[in-house]
Structure 1
């Protein structure tokens, strides 16, 4: 990488070649060495404030494959593209997921640039990066560059080379970005300790320096370690390009957002509140709702005079860690969503004395109450309502979040007719799991709206929300559930998907077209593989008949519903026998 290109990379990263923060200290160096061009790319990124909390700091090295004509361009594109795209990923994505998505996209672009042809013509590069977020180091690696960690006097290589030996002094890469249409990247997560030193370097450095020399330089050279490693490798007759990036872990401190989460875990539950009580600057006006799990209060912010809704946890769960984690997760999730169709959760006062959430106040009623007042809405009205809900759910899906508890009680209908999704207590997503807010066993929502796969212990997906939405649409139109109502305890048991038999919506309303009934049946199919893969398809099929649904209506009954056909045949045979004996 040329000095000019290196400066650009650092500028993209938002940090000079040597940068020092409260917890991490970085330095980097890259040179062409004895070669005419530098096909390496090296960059560090130590952002401040929000970006550091969201995505962490990172150091990365890419080594363009010398036998590929565009190796240098591939290395520079990989570094600049990763820096740009990684910091643009949603906060709810885990580091592993975000890095994998970005590298998959970069690999596809590099592969297309090379035309998928001979290696000589391709854009090939190695890529190794260490992402430092919170108390962890996330290592991303493909190729033969290496990531080392020095800890307690011992140097350890944390990656394995993706190369094969052909003979003395002859190796070739078995994996690299741009080599194949599909890429396999190594991922490893390491707990950080104060005093750790991480080194990312190309083979022009590690192939020419013994571990003892690397150790001496890392421990003795301070902020000049990266340049000292490059100079030492040059002195040891390195014939390749040389790049090194070093990170010193000076202290391990969780980002302020995680500090707040940890603080919340230790907050006491508020007492039962009554009108006239004051809590952290809020005047309680009235209790809106109370259940065994939480309470909702209408309150006035005494500083802004705005109406707010406070949600407090039930004292019944004060010693239940899983409940507390999910309660905290609701706030974490809501504060990262900004959509008119999703309830707004306001950031709390860091000095608050109790654990609770602050929601916007919606003047209206929940969908259950609305349905009781409007028992037979028109098909067009239901279409419009489902369209509003889909808009909010799409926002959740883009953030890789599953609502997990869609039901009429968790949907507000404002005085202006707008619908809002509320109660994110059942939400799930990789960003929540990364912060260890949630266990891997997500509890199912309400029995009659929760997707069947929840009761088999499967991981939630956006198709679970599609099932719940289909049940809500069905109930809006008919006032009934599409399947037999589920009674009993919360630990509902389901033996197989076949145990759920869909009841046609046309049995309750004769003005519902068969093709809309078919769309409802597909949306809330018991087996998630048979449901709509996308919300947009469900909305489209509620608006316009799908040809296959029209053909299904024209099929003979035996093909459309063989079970009903043979039940009718059996009934006719029974009646004929009875008439014969009469």
Structure 2
């Protein structure tokens, strides 16, 4: 059994500064009648801030009795899950992190089997089942493969949450249909469930659950709430007394307290650091000497500064004087630097090295010498199609870097894209970004105002839906449309839609006109990229970028759109003129 030796398993305590997720845990494992215990179980209860960012993790594995090395597989699966899960990026969702860790574990076990003497007898190699539970904020995340089970005891009702991956044959015989190490690729079951105080989760191997009636299991746990370790031991003894001839393992996890407010990962820094004063050229802030103001708005004050040690030019971003009392705003400001430190890409603005202690609350980023795409567009109002393609390919590369970390930018627009002196495009301003791992631990992104800028925002945001990769893709599609035409595909109508029916009535305005040499298939590519229904857009940015450069065969036979689509105002003006002439002719008869 593996635990975190530096952690305490505890219920509610007096004097805690704020409500947070707390649990009580009991566990026990016994080899039973077998010569070797092929079960393995463990848990990690990390302190803050990792508790809020990654949660609490529990795992149980069961080896197959036909294998002499299955106990190694079980121990490896549990310890690698508990160790590696907490080493994954804090930006990742629980599901993504858990699935990547288990995929790596499965690959290692499968590789051991392929190199060993049992490459053609998987039931004799490094094979095991695994069920894991991660409790994060107010949600339980379950990942599962095999026939180890997870139950939930809520009030007096016991519910099996996992499905046994077993294939039943004749005469009551069965075998595992899914297990770690059995195949090169493994399918992992996942589900997320809301938590309530008092919820009790039970992880158990078949040596336990096949021999204890539901009523007795519930009664035992409810009668020994003060000592869950003893409850686990009693249940093991009862299963043995009822004839269990397998290894026996059980974990019992009771939720004692839930956080009343969403966790703020950067709250400690917000509480510790005072807000800086507004700066003037020549003033110094923590060793950064201000050169000049770059930008000032109701949201922030941005300065060009020089590091007095390294001599590097950097960008300081200070909180707005109007919004300094809002914790949510201050967290989003610091989140920009938090994101920039975790994203590695040549088309994303980087955070400056944190080489000194800060005495005030602000952010520091690299200085990109150049101009925003909005400024560039004023000097190049009608860029060539090839130039637009090159710009968008760089934007897409920057978004790939973000999306790999499960981060949505949500505010792609010309003002948030920098072009440096070498022509490299870099994405900046992550104030509207949605980080999957943080969103699970915090309601920071569910604020009343919508992310981004209305003309570039995907229609689903106006229905209150959570964005996806296709939402960022929509913004890139609108950006391409605007660069090629100076217009927007639906004018300003998207921001006025409030229902799905409103969005179905949106009419795409062709990007084609009589002054620009744009192929019809490019127009069809843009039409799909900015479709109001995300399910009818491209599924990946790479598809859109490819079709923007290489004609999609489905679009090659398309004809030029009619005038009513290309210039609806001009069309109806023409209709009105014709009708006016007809009226005049009729009056003169």
Q: In which range does the TM-score fall when normalised by the shorter chain? A: 0.7 to 0.9
Q: Do the aligned partners of residues 147 and 281 (structure 1) sit closer, same or farther apart at CA in structure 2, a change above 3 Å counting?
A: farther
Q: Is 2:351 aligned against 1:345?
A: yes
**Contact conserved, 1:162 with 1:175, CA < 8 A, in 2?**
no
- Could you tell me which residue of structure 1 aligns to residue 477 of structure 2? 470
Q: Do the aligned partners of residues 242 and 438 (structure 1) sit closer, same or farther apart at CA in structure 2, a change above 3 Å counting?
A: same
**Contact conserved, 2:503 with 2:532, CA < 8 A, in 1?**
yes
Deviation at 1:427, TM superposition (A): 0.4
Deviation at 1:366, TM superposition (A): 0.8
Give me the whole-angstrom Cα distance separating, in 2, the residues matched to 1:309 and 1:561.
Answer: 43
Q: Which shows bigger deviation, 364-373 or 64-73?
A: 64-73
- Could you tell me which residue of structure 1 aligns to residue 465 of structure 2? 458
Q: Do the aligned partners of residues 214 and 506 (structure 1) sit closer, same or farther apart at CA in structure 2, a change above 3 Å counting?
A: closer
1:161-197 deviations in whole A, cap 9, x for unaligned? 768xxxxxx9999999569x9875554566999xx99
Give me the whole-angstrom Cα distance separating, in 2, the residues matched to 1:55 and 1:172.
Answer: 40
Match of 2:489 among 482, 489, 507: 482
- TM-score, normalised by the number of residues in structure 1: 0.72
- How many residues are treated as equivalent by the alignment? 540
Q: Is 2:533 aligned against 1:527?
A: yes
**Contact conserved, 2:58 with 2:82, CA < 8 A, in 1?**
no
- TM-score, normalised by the number of residues in structure 2: 0.72
Matches within 5 A, 1:125-164: 127-131=130-134, 145=149
Deviation at 1:75, TM superposition (A): 6.1
Q: Is 2:275 aligned against 1:272?
A: no
**Unaligned regions of 5+ residues in structure 2, if any?**
11-24, 114-122, 165-170, 181-185
Deviation at 1:404, TM superposition (A): 0.9
**Unaligned regions of 5+ residues in structure 1, if any?**
1-9, 11-16, 114-119, 164-169
**Contact conserved, 2:264 with 2:331, CA < 8 A, in 1?**
no
RCO higher in structure (CA 8 A, sep ≥6): 2
- Could you tell me which residue of structure 1 aligns to residue 91 of structure 2? 92
- Could you tell me which residue of structure 1 aligns to residue 16 of structure 2? none
1:340-369 deviations in whole A, cap 9, x for unaligned? 111112465785333211111111111111
Match of 1:421 among 415, 420, 427: 427
- Could you tell me which residue of structure 2 aligns to residue 14 of structure 1? none
**Contact conserved, 1:146 with 1:157, CA < 8 A, in 2?**
no
Deviation at 1:373, TM superposition (A): 1.4
Matches within 5 A, 1:31-430: 32-35=31-34, 40-43=39-42, 55=54, 58-63=57-62, 79=78, 82=81, 86=85, 89-96=88-95, 98-99=97-98, 127-131=130-134, 145=149, 185=190, 187-188=192-193, 200-205=203-208, 207=211, 219=227, 238-244=244-250, 260-265=266-271, 267-346=273-352, 351-430=357-436
Deviation at 1:315, TM superposition (A): 1.4
1:410-461 deviations in whole A, cap 9, x for unaligned? 1111111111100000101321212316142461322221222222222212
**Contact conserved, 1:128 with 1:139, CA < 8 A, in 2?**
yes
Give me the whole-angstrom Cα distance separating, in 2, the residues matched to 1:305 and 1:250.
Answer: 53
**Contact conserved, 1:217 with 1:229, CA < 8 A, in 2?**
no
Give me the whole-angstrom Cα distance separating, in 2, the residues matched to 1:550 and 1:412.
Answer: 34
